Amino acid sequence: MKVLRGAEVFFEGALQRLDLAFDEEGIHRIGPDLDVDGEVLEAEGLVVLPGMIDAHVHFRDFHEAHKEDWETGGRAAVAGGVTTVLDMPNNDPPAVTPQILREKREKAERSPVDFGLFAGITPENLPTLGELAREPRVVGFKLYMGETTGGLVIARRSLQREAFRRVADTDKVLAVHCQRPGRPEAEDVEIALDLAVTTGAKLHLCHLRTREGVQLAYEAKRDGVDVTLETCPHYLYFTEEDARERGTLLKVNPPLASPEDRDYLWEALAEGVIDLVASDHAPHTLEEKARPYEKAPFGLPGVETTLPLLLDAVSRGRLSLQRLVEVFSQKPAERFGLRDKGRIREGWRADLMVVDLEKRLLLRREALRTKCGWSPYEGFPLRGWPVRTFVQGREVFRKSED
């Protein structure tokens, strides 16, 4: 048994000075001045939050292990306070068959971070989606309606409709990359929403980036459509102007938007319009990113830096701590059916992180755990950092003194 003592615990929606007794079986007791036998972990002046859940990562591995693998990606995740990741299917090879999903699961089980998997959809595997849905750790499906790394694009509307219908039959969530190059985001969002309405699919819209796209999706949700809205840190911190200045280092898909869109995303996030934040961690080496623009890959690393960026936003008053927990822990757990995660409660999983809200550090390349070894946020001065991370009661990260 471990006892976290002296911290402010985010419990029942607010910070409260409580002790926390837990082990690998879960959280056993929460209360002031607990009298419990066990290893005491002093946490005076620190804050305990539920472990963060990153619902959109690409941990590569297999034929792209030079960019990232489950061991390095897991180390990066827990260093960033993330205790669970949901991995996308467009690997090489893509996770579109039971065999590949099982091989990916075996790799992931050796990682320090907990995980769920998305199964990919192709025209060929549409008849087998029910079988894929029954594979352990599959939390949902991913449909690519627009260009993406690794292929898997389904462009024909009739096949898109069939994919929505078949996923609806499984009762899993359908995460959709709906944005297509050169088109207004709202037009593609409208297509996805219409398909969700006609089929009854549980829709999750990935990496929304514009005011028009977000507002259209939010209005649909208020009208009763079962849809959740996701955005990513790079859309909160960078714009198309930054992309023009920094070139391939900020080449992402979908691309960065306007300064006005970025400002709106912060407002929507703070006000509860956007449901969750996910990193879209998509690591590539600097050598790959240094290719000519048309040949350079899309994507940025981010699983390790999302929480420090959001904690800094809390310190600056752009986001409340309650909203941070909602969008990066509670809501992902609820949407993707992750039992006993996303909150601190007796009997629930001891996926926890300890945060120093006052710790100030420059984000340095040398301190990163991701195998790709770089970050677009390098040099950012950030206030608020995770200092200890526990996955299922086991300490998997402790920050050394910088």
Distance CA 372, CA 110 (A): 20
Domain boundaries, the chain: 2-48+346-398, 53-335
Joined tokens for residue 36:
């419990």
Joined tokens for residue 24:
């690998």
Contacting residues for 364 by C-beta, under 8 A, at least 6 apart: 378, 379
Write out pLDDT tens, residues 146-193. 776 666 899 999 999 999 999 999 999 999 999 998 899 999 999 999
DSSP line for 114-149: EEEEEEE--TTTGGGHHHHHTSTTEEEEEEE-S--T
Helix, coil or strand: residue 220: helix
Joined tokens for residue 173:
């969530």
Distance CA 235, CA 233 (A): 5
Residue 400 has a pLDDT of 81
- The CATH architecture of the domain made up of 53-335 is Alpha-Beta Barrel (3.20)
Four-way CATH pick for 2-48+346-398: 3.60.20.10, 3.40.50.2300, 2.30.40.10, 1.20.1530.20: 2.30.40.10
> Residue 323: what residue type?
R
Write out pLDDT tens, residues 227-260. 999 999 999 999 999 999 999 999 999 999 999 9
Identify the bridge partners of residue 174 per DSSP, sorted by sequence position: 141, 203
Neighbours of 133 (CB within 10 A): 18
Joined tokens for residue 62:
């297999």
Write out pLDDT tens, residues 344-367. 999 999 999 999 999 999 999 999
